[in-house]
Structure 1
Amino acid sequence: MVTNATFVIEITPSEGLLPTTGRFDFTKVWSGGAEGTSKGVMLSSGNAAKGTAGFVAMEVFEGRIGSLSGSVSLQQFGTMVGGEQRLTYEVVPGSGTDDFIGITGELHLTIDEDGLHHVRFDIA
């Protein structure tokens, strides 16, 4: 199933592990083909201002994606080298409840000029 959605995110910084790392808690509100909320944590390192950094994030989505509903965990792995970003955003295998039991797949993220996050779910 392919579904398109958007989300707005609220990020709260926490104390980092080391001077070059950051820890952030976040909440997302989803709309469109996915409706619900997700909460998670992100760890980052590097120097994003200079175009080199990396992050990992885990979040739990609760709500509806297409005609399916329940909760499922999502994971992100991102890097930036020379200002070029690369992101892997996936469903965590075995994490689904209710209609999401057994779900697998990827998410594809783009951010528009106004900062709105657009996501395409490619899930099965």
Structure 2
Amino acid sequence: MPAQTVSEIGQMGLDKHWSGDLQGQSAVEMLTFMTPVEGSAVYVAIEVVQATLSGRQGGFAFFHAGVSESGGQSLTYRVVPDSGSGELAGLSGELTLEIVDRVHHYTLEYTLAEA
């Protein structure tokens, strides 16, 4: 099998709008790599969020890592340690994703330092 080349690395930027308990905006920078094998790929991303969470305003970052292999998928989607600012300083947590009819639904399990 021929070696993979750098040209097969994809890059994209996304803007997101959050609603629900987490309300605000975020910007995502993502790198992707698709293998020649259908169903096998990987992505990594950093997402910077400015939002209100549980009535507290501030910012933080998420780290994403997703892997698809032989039809199975795994996803890591965590708050970057010590990235919280403003009233979100000390935030830690992990996000889970459920896709229903192509719509992404997120659940954020988090802890936040006492105010």
Structure 2-normalised TM-score?
Answer: 0.86
The alpha-carbon deviation at position 40 of structure 1 amounts to: 1.5
1:118 is aligned to 105
Post-superposition CA distance 1:54-100 (Å, at most 9, x none): 01000111111222221100010110001211100000011111111
The alpha-carbon deviation at position 49 of structure 1 amounts to: 7.7
1:97 to 85, 89, 102: 85
The alpha-carbon deviation at position 48 of structure 1 amounts to: 8.3
Given that 1:48 and 1:80 are in contact with CA atoms closer than 8 Å, whether structure 2 keeps it comes out as no
**Partners in 1 of 2:36 and 2:103 — Cα distance?**
20
Post-superposition CA distance 1:6-30 (Å, at most 9, x none): xxxxxxxxxxx82221001011011
2:71 is aligned to 83
**Partners in 2 of 1:36 and 1:47 — Cα distance?**
34
Unaligned runs of 5+ in 1: 1-16
1:1-124 correspondence to structure 2 within 5 Å:
18-47=6-35, 50-113=38-101, 115-124=102-111
Unaligned runs of 5+ in 2: none
Deviates more, 1:89-98 or 1:48-57: 48-57
Over the matched positions of the two proteins, sequence identity in percent amounts to 33
What is the SS of the residue equivalent to 1:19? Answer: helix
Quote the RMSD (CA, aligned, Å).
1.7
Q: For the pair shown, which has the larger CA radius of gyration, 1 or 2?
A: 2
What is the SS of the residue equivalent to 1:25? Answer: strand
